[in-house]
Structure 1
């Protein structure tokens, strides 16, 4: 039997090995598929049937059922009914035995051996044929005997048998294939394919609950509402089961005695810690639904827990929660059980839940805090209390996912129509404004107007206002914030105080600010609140202390991927991305930027996309990808102008300045650098002034603006003590404007300077240029070679080209292979030298414009140039040496 592949197996994600094993027996033989109910046994049988049918093989089907389990040969009747016309062609003994067994004649069937032999003969004559028997464990014993007989005798007959069961012993003596759970990657792909609207946290929750069960992966999301799948409504706990899962677990739970079901319900409702009441552990363990270890009880799979709760009556669930509330050993657990045992409004329980919510929030559990606040609002007798609690839930929800925040604010207004806006409502609204079509000024007005130091949410509002002011980056925005912080008694919280200095204006940080920051960084390994971790990282970023915060930030990202506060994850990714740019981890920065932007898109955090795009733009600028830099920077400038976000405008200009310096356009670099900070001062409320200062000094020097360069170098010198990196660039800036150049020596010897490889390589490049101009060629080659090596490692093509050109001018031999172009590089270089754009070249060669750009920026360092304007001369001088075709002078084209 030849079995050709079809699309059947392709739909069974993660089952390639199983399908291959099944294919080996389809030409003749038998295989038993074993696995728990819901493991996908039936789907594999169906895939085998489709594959066989496509190959011209006749498929005979049968399936066990409890209804027919007591009818002898009922299963055989199912299998052979399509072949009944051929029974009369058998020998008389076989014909009579089989007709009687199949119910075609009256009278008792002959012994099973005769019936089995007759069946084998009939199948051999009908070959090629495939027998499929599902739920073999429920087939009547007489038919099961015949199936076992066939299984051991089909080799070479042209007939094949596939049977599925939950126990390998059902067909002793033949091969068995265990059908286990799907791998997580396949399970995730299956969920995403069938339910593309699943939000990330919902997807993770379903994967954890399903544990790779194909049935669960189909049933669980289908049992959710559309709002629950997209994350705009929270998932219930436990998850609702679909009808097939309910029926599957119902058959295991219904026969249990009522006391055992009550104990199972207590275990299910009390979570992973196990039951809080005395229980007959032996009775529980006999159910095979739970495992007991040192007196602690846990369900063997999460779906069993959900089934126990789903199949209990509402009154039974409330009674169990009351029992658990009485024995709870934690206030938060007691509050939750009381809330679930309560039907109507109850202010006492609502108050307990709000205290539990605030505890959850201090621990960094924003999702738990949100759930408790919403339930507290439901239990609130007074409209004013319900309104405030919903508004506070909305402000917490904004840290998890922006979807649903508008609805919560609307519910809060409806609960108390006469109430004016509250502080929590202003915080939530500001989030929405910034991430929708609103602007910085509107969010600022909302928050400033709602500030009320008598309100417990006042600090939350100030933290939100800090974010708004930093994004706006304008002096007038900061004044109300600083005034409000100054009014706090006995003083502002530590992180708020640090934000007022190190986030707003790190260039003017005091030694006390830095000491406090260093102390907080030293304690990050014990910090459990992700919001505090990322706040410390934000304060550390522009004073170059973020490397010491990286591990804590990675922990925030890891925890967040398992369902924590998404906004903390994105902010951690922003801090890690920008620090990776500064510390030369450019590939990592690109990956982090992509991950963060995907989360922003999935959860509605539109504003946080821009610092991630800034990180990507800086990498593109450093590597000479002009098209990407221009695209990202242009989008940043347009968005910043529309939303009043001056800090993002400065970020775009900084990236454009780096790109312009790389390609040797100092005039354009200067125009962009002064948009970040004017020459001679590090602009107040502009943290990026500390990152772009070296660009301004270099651009001013190269364009003959000596006074501006000297003034800005002096400004940098005043902040040199903030970090080793600033010490490095300040010394280099001073050396650039100092005719003696002596400060270069101090610059390259700054302790720890190697932690900022791109900055150090740029300093070495400037030092090497200075040494060459002063005829110290040997020393120049040493600095230039070190710079070139770092630039090459970073993929900073235009900077590599600059270093290479300087090395040649200093009499150094080009790096091995530097001047060798591949045939495609040669072709692209020749076309670019004629003046064609990347797009036009791509159209001629059937390449994307990005691919053309990438090739050109590999060509530049090989030819020792920094831009395409120099291509014609460089190609003529080089004689167009290539790696394959030999010389191809430019004049020949």
Structure 2
């Protein structure tokens, strides 16, 4: 079938395979006849697919005859057949008299005895063949469940005799319905529920402003049923759809859904409906709950009518009851009176006295008007849910608690808390303004709660980039909170938020506000935030005690369940190059966010993981993770987080030699961050531009961009998120003749206390120092840099220092040692995909007399090029001192390399080196 401008396939979400099947059927039917019966549950989309077939057939020139079951005519014989054949009554004259008379009598056009069913069916087949002589015909029958039996018998007769006729039959039947039996034996296709991705797409397309957590609830309850996906939101109120009000435990049905799902529930005996209502409101499927709620009653027998109606199933072995579809439960709730629902909730609350969270919800649903006790219980339940990382349960509990509390400070605080959790943890910035407006109306004279101020600040910072407004709002709110009773948890969260905002500012003004506020909080600061103030707040001056405390937090992060706490630990760890111990916990946060949990925390975790992967040389992982962060943050209006991911992509593009992309991405970041004073992001953009310029050989531009991140003479201290900028800056300064400036930068960095504690910063500081040192002292600085324990965990920077060392050694004519370092650098750059640096290392290798221009020299698979060179010299009988003199290394460095080589080769002495090297496998 040719595609046309009217091709209906794009209109159906997630149905490409079903539409392709219909297309194939229509092609076969137009050539030599074919039939297909679509089956599936109510609302799954059978009628929509029939419409697709009708439009496609019409567009292809096929004549379409259609009918559908009507409940009011289900007992009227041939009522559906009359509708089907009405358009071709004019062709009756071509039929034999027997067939013409039988049709006229069967369809009520003339009086007479009931004609034989076989004669009527044969007459219909003859009529359709006559019509099909002028072109293909498609018969369409929807709702076989309500189609009269006589018509269904005729369709079954015709459908089994279509080959060679150019007639197609397309019908739709509800799975398990008797109306399908006359068509038994015809080809079937079950229309399956939509997958989660298609379901999300369908709901988002119809309700684009729906809050993410509400959309997830609709998708979960609908279980891929398209009608439910479109109609359940219609039954919600406007505030419920955008998460400004809590959703009910069981979602209500629209009138359309009620007609599809409620009919069989309404036919049940009252006792059965009561137990079905209890099962729906309980939602756990625990038979023990139903038994406890029905003392003295043979409740399994009472449930039997619902089992026979295929509304639920009971497994006595596992003691579980399962509704066939969640909408069966919604139907049971919709058909119950308000009094019946309230009594059911009261009953369940009494049964669940030992489960405080579930009991709180049932008491809340049983409440009429305000109920302070139920509100307090739900408030506590929401906080417990939050501590275990269940944001999807926490926010609805807080909102419902606010509704039950009605007015006053408690309601305002709960609304503010829900707004903050929704924004910072769930990633829903859109809910913040209306919830805060409700909070102000609830307590107009209260001055606002600390959680409300945190929500407002997060919205300003993450969405609008209003750093100064967020800093001012948080500082004032913390100061106000300190004048009254405030929990340590709220203070910790607020102070940490202030720390993150000030760190993103990267300016002295917000920094002073942070320090003053932290001093006012004093001893009430929790240990995790105290560590973050030293690490994230000032990573260049971190102390050994700070790092020991951070290491204790990192050691326990795998046992942490609160996604916000995991992310806070990750932020502190990343700032001092210790994120590796948090990776597992951060990926848990990401996986939870992908499943619709703490999406806001998941986005932050993705940014952290992308930054860590970039530094650790896992560049493909960094790119994938950063792209996911950009997509996730952008979809929820988190511009700052989205641009953080964009900054990582800019750095990757610059290092890989794609200068055009690097500059475009960096320009996007700087255009947003610059006017808003988000200096941390500006620094990332400038560093990406500096790297791109270095890759292009434009050292003047590289110096201009690198100097924009660090004012002359201050080193890396003013740019804590990118301490590696010192190497870029010093290299550019030296190559542009600004040696005194470069020396000043080196002196400033070398004076930082953190240089002795952070391997990465030690590598960069010593490498930068080597670039400014005279030839006689450069070698010692390079050796110092490359001997830093753990320095190779930053492979790009490590290879850049190796490259610079090799260049220096070639200049002083130590070509043998130069080749060693240049080959190692080339191998790393090639593996990473850092093409400009690999080309530079290859050029230097050729200048040093090495003909091999790509990849490192062939060495045993487990050894680095430097380890291999040292091993060969040791195997030849040279001492460590002699090896060091030849390779411009200290004897201690040579010894350290051999210490690592022996276990790699499976030996324990120098005497075994020669044989071990001979038998060691080469790579590839």
- Whether TM-score is above 0.5 comes out as yes
Q: Return the match for 1:22 from 15, 22, 25.
A: 25
Instruction: Determine which of 45, 55, 68 is the counterpart of 1:40.
Output: 45
Q: Hey, what's the Cα distance between the residues in 2 that align with 1:421 and 1:56?
A: 68
Distance 1:338 1:29 in 2: 58
**Can you list the C-alpha shifts for 1:820-842, whole angstroms capped at 9, x where unaligned?**
xxxxxxxxxxxxxxxxxxxxxxx
2:433 equivalent among 396, 406, 422:
406
Q: In the alignment, is residue 308 of structure 1 matched against residue 343 of structure 2? A: no
How far does the alpha carbon of each residue in 1:518-551 deviate from its partner, in whole angstroms, 9 at most, with x for none? 2222222211100011111101112211122222
Q: Does 1:291 align with 2:295?
A: no
1:735 alignment partner, SS class: helix
Pick from 747, 750, 768: which aligns with 1:733?
768
Once superposed, what is the RMSD of the aligned Cα atoms?
Answer: 2.9
Equivalent of residue 251 in structure 2, options 229, 235, 239: 239
Distance 2:672 2:508 in 1: 20
Q: Work out the CA distance in 2 between the residues paired with 1:247 and 1:383.
A: 42
Secondary structure of 2:369's match?
coil
Q: Does the aligned pair in 1 maintain the 2:590–2:606 contact within 8 Å? A: yes
Deviation per CA, 1:174-204: give whole Å up to 9, x if none.
3222222234444444444444445544443
Q: Is the 8 A contact 1:232 1:403 kept in 2?
A: no
Match of 1:148 among 116, 141, 156: 156
Q: 2:795 aligned with 1:768, yes or no?
A: no
Please say if 1:384 is aligned against 2:388: no
> Are the aligned partners of 2:345 and 2:362 in contact in 1 as well (CA < 8 Å)?
yes
For 1:9 and 1:608, how far apart are their aligned partners in 2? 37
| Distance in 2 (alpha carbons) for counterparts of 1:75 and 1:29 | 21
Q: CA 1:439 to 1:133, structure 2 compared with 1: closer, same or farther past 3 Å?
A: closer
Task: Decide which moves more: 277-286 or 29-38.
Answer: 277-286
Q: Is the 8 A contact 2:279 2:290 kept in 1?
A: no
Residue 213 of structure 2 contacts residue 392 of structure 2 at CA under 8 Å; is this kept in 1? no
Q: Check if 1:369 corresponds to 2:404.
A: no
Change over 3 Å in CA distance of 1:519–1:555 after alignment to 2: same
Q: 1:86 to 1:258 in 2, by over 3 A?
A: same
Q: Aligned equivalents of 2:407 and 2:457: distance in 1?
A: 26
Number of paired residues?
A: 817
The Cα of 1:501 is off from its aligned counterpart by 0.2
Q: Residue 651 of structure 2 corresponds to which residue in structure 1?
A: 618
Residue 756 of structure 2 contacts residue 762 of structure 2 at CA under 8 Å; is this kept in 1? yes
Paired residues of 1:364 and 1:529 also in contact (CA < 8 A): yes
Q: Paired residue for 1:798?
A: 836
Equivalent residue, structure 2, for 1:324: 348
* Structure 1 residues 714 and 4: CA distance shift in structure 2, 3 A: closer
Give the equivalent residue in structure 2 for 1:851: none
- Cα distance, 1:424–1:599 mapped onto 2, change above 3 Å: same
Choose 42-51 or 664-673, whichever is displaced more: 664-673
Give the structure 2 partner of residue 31 of structure 1.
36
Equivalent runs, 1:202-601 vs 2, <5 Å: 202-224=214-236, 229=241, 235-272=247-284, 274=286, 276-278=289-291, 280-282=299-301, 283=303, 284-293=306-315, 294-328=318-352, 329-380=354-405, 383-399=408-424, 400=426, 401-435=428-462, 439-451=466-478, 452-453=481-482, 454-456=485-487, 457-486=490-519, 488=521, 491-601=524-634
- Output one character per residue of 1:644-663: Cα deviation in whole Å (capped at 9) or x when no partner: 33333333333333233222
What is the rounded CA distance, in whole Å, between the counterparts of 2:512 and 2:727 in structure 1?
Answer: 29
Give the 3 Å change call, closer, same or farther, for CA 656–816 of structure 1 in structure 2.
closer
Whole-angstrom CA distance in 2 between matches of 1:346 and 1:119: 68
Q: Is the 8 A contact 1:87 1:99 kept in 2?
A: no
SS at match of 1:238: coil
Per the alignment, residue 131 of structure 2 pairs with 126
Secondary structure at 2:36's aligned position in 1?
strand
Q: Does 1:105 align with 2:110?
A: yes
Residues of 1 paired with 2:107 and 2:722: CA distance? 90
Deviation at 1:367, TM superposition (A): 4.0
2:187 matches 1:175 = yes
1:93 aligns with 2:98: yes
Shift of 1:379: 2.0
2:757 maps to 1:722: yes
> Residue by residue, what CA displacement relative to the aligned partner does 1:663-698 show, whole Å, maximum 9, x if unpaired?
233344334334433555545464135222222332
Which of 713-722 and 608-617 deviates more? 713-722
| 1:188–1:459 Cα change, 3 Å | closer
Asked if the contact 2:465/2:673 (under 8 Å) is kept, the reply is no
TM-score, normalising length from structure 2? 0.82
What CA distance in whole angstroms lies between the structure 1 residues aligned with 2:718 and 2:323? 55
515-524 vs 717-726, which deviates more? 717-726
Deviation at 1:575, TM superposition (A): 0.6
Provide Cα deviations, 1:760-809, integer angstroms capped at 9, x if missing partner. Answer: 22122112211211223343234323323433343333323322332332
Q: Alpha-carbon deviation of 1:319? A: 1.6
CA separation in 2, counterparts of 1:330 and 1:36?
Answer: 35
Q: CA deviation at 1:342?
A: 0.7
| Cα drift, residue 465 of structure 1 | 1.4
Of residues 720, 730, 735 in structure 2, which corresponds to 1:687? Answer: 720
Q: What SS class does the counterpart of residue 164 from structure 2 fall into?
A: coil
CA, structure 1 residues 155+686, in 2 after alignment: closer, same or farther (shift >3 Å)?
A: same
In 2: Cα distance, 1:176 partner to 1:633 partner: 56
1:256 deviation in Å?
Answer: 0.9
Q: Check 1:71–1:3 CA distance in 2 against 1; reply closer, same or farther (3 A cut).
A: farther
SS of residue paired to 1:719: helix
- Local SS of the residue matching 1:404: helix
- The CA deviation string for residues 558-600 of structure 1, in whole angstroms up to 9 with x for no partner, is 1112222332122112211211221223333333333323333
Helix, strand or coil: the match of 1:403?
helix
Aligned to 2:907: none
Q: Output one character per residue of 1:418-444: Cα deviation in whole Å (capped at 9) or x when no partner.
A: 222332232222223324657323322
Are the aligned partners of 1:231 and 1:403 in contact in 2 as well (CA < 8 Å)?
no
Q: Distance in 2 between matches of 1:255 and 1:349?
A: 35
1:605 is aligned to 2:638: yes
Cα deviations by residue, 1:19-40 (Å, 9 ceiling, x for unpaired): 2452333441322222222222
Secondary structure of 2:169's counterpart equals strand
Q: What's the offset of the Cα at 1:338?
A: 1.0
Q: Deviations over 1:606-662 (max 9, x none)?
A: 333332232122223222333343344445445444333333333333333323322
Unaligned runs of 5+ in 1: 818-893
CA contact (8 A) 1:504 1:686 kept: no
Q: CA 1:192 to 1:646, structure 2 compared with 1: closer, same or farther past 3 Å?
A: closer
2:10 matches 1:7? no
The one of 644, 653, 656 aligned to 2:686: 653
SS of the residue 1:690 aligns to: coil
Q: Indicate how the Cα distance of structure 1 residues 431 and 808 shifts in structure 2: closer, same or farther if over 3 A, else same.
A: same
**CA shift in 2, pair 1:390/1:517, >3 Å:** same
Q: Deviations over 1:66-100 (max 9, x none)?
A: 32222222222222222333334322222222211
Cα distance in structure 1, aligned partners of 2:543 and 2:725: 21
* Pair 398,161 (structure 1): closer, same or farther in 2 beyond 3 Å: closer
